[in-house]
Structure 1
Amino acid sequence: MLAASKNSLTDGDTGRLVDLVSQIARSDCDYQTAIPGLSLYRRNAVTEPLHCIYGLGIGLCLQGSKQVMVGEEVLTYAPGQSLVTSVDLPVIANVTQASFAQPYLGMMLTFDNTMVMQIAERLQLSQRIKDDGFRPVTVQTLDVCVLNAFERLVELLDEPCLIAAIAPLITEEIVVRLLNGAHGPQLLHIVSAGSPSQHIAKSVAWLKLNFSRALRMDDLAATAYMSPSTFRQHFRAVTGMSPLQYQKQLRLQAARQMMLSQNVDASSAGGLVGYESSSQFSREYSRLFGEPPQRDIKRMRVQ
């Protein structure tokens, strides 16, 4: 019988992190911590599918389970698994297992693309990664060393005066371990100099900042050094959708957030995110979220 790998998780390995997170996340909510990029989550019941954007980073499921839909692919991850997103991506996510007695507990740590690229270069990792089989979101068994690093990161919240000095070091350790682990090949697609995936990642970053502007496919393809048809092909391979669909989801999610958190009316929200026609905005909003803007926001506020 083969001995277990020293990096393999065993029953109870996540217990320490469950205790740490549950002490902070005491009610059904999202918790933005004092550590840049680190968020904690607690849900006391299963949730409806929610449209959101996952950034470059790693998510951990500590208790309960969660489902994430990326394009037409459905991923499920449970305790002892990690989910890594290699590029900013609109997804549909929902908690599938949770109760008040045993709530869903999770966490997310987002990274800066430049930091990941610099670490990959410093480690002299392969710069020739084939695009075959690239997936923007992957679920793997959680490496015990990554788990230990997360424990130290959360424990650091009790020492706020040390966060600025130590948190970046632990975050870099996590990235180093991810690049050298099961998630590494997918992350390297995005940071490998000159690779199509890296060019698409840059286009995605531009779209995220400029989604309200009119989309000129030829110009966007040119900045990625591709023809429009090749660009569309690679963009769909990376994100699971076309550039136009990606922009549309960014616009609609931004408008929804404006209406929900800033009390912006539907007509104004549509205009602010780039829609010239309020009827088109309402139609596309209803198609994505299942209800017209006003009815959807009213439902969200009473949940």
Structure 2
Amino acid sequence: MNANTSAESLARNGVCAPQAELADRIARLTPEDGVHPTAVPQLYLIRSSTPTPCKPALYEPRLCIVAQGSKVAMLAGETYHYDPLNYLVVSVTLPMIGQITEATPEKPYLCLRLDIDPEEIAALILDAGPQAPSTGIDRGLYAARVNAPLLDAVLRLMRLLETPADLPVLAPIALREIFYRVLVGDLGHRLCDLAVADTRSHRIARAVEMLRQQYLQPLSIDDLAQSVHMSTSSLHHQFKAVTTMSPLQFQKQLRLHEARRLMLIDGIEAVAAAHKVGYESASQFSREYKRLFGAPPRSEIGQVRSTRLG
């Protein structure tokens, strides 16, 4: 599909009218592959004309709604599919592997991403009233079924991009409805638990955020547990339930992703990047980098740059 593809032609091909309109609007606003910011600060549009290899990436809290094509997110052997029928919610920062599995130049992968602000979710929960109680502690991400009310709210937000003067007043209302629909939708209690103060999931979300902000500092599990009012053993167990990894493994992945960003974006050499993120041994850094990204630092960064240039 190209930027001139109409919603009507998509509908004729068996795609429901709201999905066809969403795909058409995203296509017209994404003239080339990549991640495209919009006039709504937390809204991004994504396009890819080809499937992608598996790529480790750091997923911040977000809602992803696919209009066309499909993608998978993988976390410790668990696979989450999202496509026009299923959206993805990432409720805490997570190092994962992503792969676009369905995309062609004629029908590219088209996706809408909304960054999640936990404070906004907490305020919305207060107004919406108590949701269904959780039966336990869950992963910090999930895929759920797209429904008509959610899709309608998303389309109202997308239509507002055509009238920038309306955005300051109406975009917050549309965003609020979108996240409300997610909260009351399938598995919405998982997002709710992570935003409501003093739940076990919320304490783990706080621990994740503390590691996110202080990943360069030496990690004391006892201090981290005390900061979120948990025992050390409970923190270990529940942190792994949400993220699939221990706090130490989580910190290591944060450091490796930051080192990769320093090399790729800032042009820093591998040894300097390793030192900046807390590695004393360059060889250890190279081994762990290769284990996560599939190749040693210099080689992997070179591959990425050559792909972008190509």
TM over 0.5: yes
Deviates more, 1:227-236 or 1:141-150: 141-150
1:49 maps to which of 46, 51, 54: 54
Please report how far the alpha carbon of residue 86 of structure 1 lies from its aligned counterpart in structure 2 after TM superposition.
1.7
How many Å separate the matches in 2 of 1:62 and 1:12?
11
Equivalent in the alignment of 1:232: 236
1:125 maps to which of 130, 133, 139: 130
Please report how far the alpha carbon of residue 301 of structure 1 lies from its aligned counterpart in structure 2 after TM superposition.
0.3
Asked if 2 retains the 8 angstrom alpha-carbon contact of 1:129 and 1:195, the reply is no
TM-score, structure 1 as length reference? 0.92
Correspondences of 1:31-46 after superposition (within 5 Å): 31-46=36-51
How many Å separate the matches in 2 of 1:126 and 1:25?
37
Residue aligned with 2:222, SS: helix
Residue aligned with 1:235, SS: helix
Residue deviations 1:227-257 (CA, integer Å, cap 9, x gap): 2121010000011111111111111111111
How many Å separate the matches in 2 of 1:56 and 1:125?
22
Question: Is 1:153–2:157 an aligned residue pair?
Answer: yes
Asked if 2 retains the 8 angstrom alpha-carbon contact of 1:17 and 1:62, the reply is yes
1:200 maps to which of 184, 204, 212: 204
Asked if 2 retains the 8 angstrom alpha-carbon contact of 1:64 and 1:104, the reply is yes
Residue deviations 1:136-175 (CA, integer Å, cap 9, x gap): 2111111211111111212222222332332222111111
Deviates more, 1:274-283 or 1:173-182: 274-283
Please report how far the alpha carbon of residue 127 of structure 1 lies from its aligned counterpart in structure 2 after TM superposition.
8.4
Please report how far the alpha carbon of residue 36 of structure 1 lies from its aligned counterpart in structure 2 after TM superposition.
1.5
How many Å separate the matches in 1 of 2:169 and 2:212?
30
Asked if 2 retains the 8 angstrom alpha-carbon contact of 1:127 and 1:193, the reply is no
RMSD of aligned residue pairs (Cα, Å): 1.6
Unaligned runs of 5+ in 1: 1-9
Residue deviations 1:204-241 (CA, integer Å, cap 9, x gap): 11111111111111100111222212101000001111
Residue aligned with 1:13, SS: helix
How many Å separate the matches in 1 of 2:154 and 2:18?
12
Equivalent in the alignment of 2:278: 274
How many Å separate the matches in 2 of 1:262 and 1:70?
28
2:146 maps to which of 142, 145, 148: 142
Correspondences of 1:60-209 after superposition (within 5 Å): 60-126=65-131, 129-132=134-137, 134-209=138-213
How many Å separate the matches in 2 of 1:145 and 1:126?
18
Asked if 2 retains the 8 angstrom alpha-carbon contact of 1:14 and 1:80, the reply is no
Equivalent in the alignment of 1:20: 25
How many Å separate the matches in 2 of 1:253 and 1:286?
12
Please report how far the alpha carbon of residue 26 of structure 1 lies from its aligned counterpart in structure 2 after TM superposition.
1.7
Equivalent in the alignment of 1:298: 302
Unaligned runs of 5+ in 2: 1-14
How many Å separate the matches in 2 of 1:207 and 1:166?
35
Asked if 2 retains the 8 angstrom alpha-carbon contact of 1:61 and 1:82, the reply is yes
Q: Which amino acid aligns with 1:30?
A: V
How many Å separate the matches in 2 of 1:78 and 1:106?
9
Asked if 1 retains the 8 angstrom alpha-carbon contact of 2:132 and 2:189, the reply is no
Asked if 2 retains the 8 angstrom alpha-carbon contact of 1:77 and 1:83, the reply is yes
How many Å separate the matches in 1 of 2:253 and 2:168?
34
Residue aligned with 1:14, SS: helix
TM-score, structure 2 as length reference? 0.90
Percent identical pairs in the alignment equals: 36
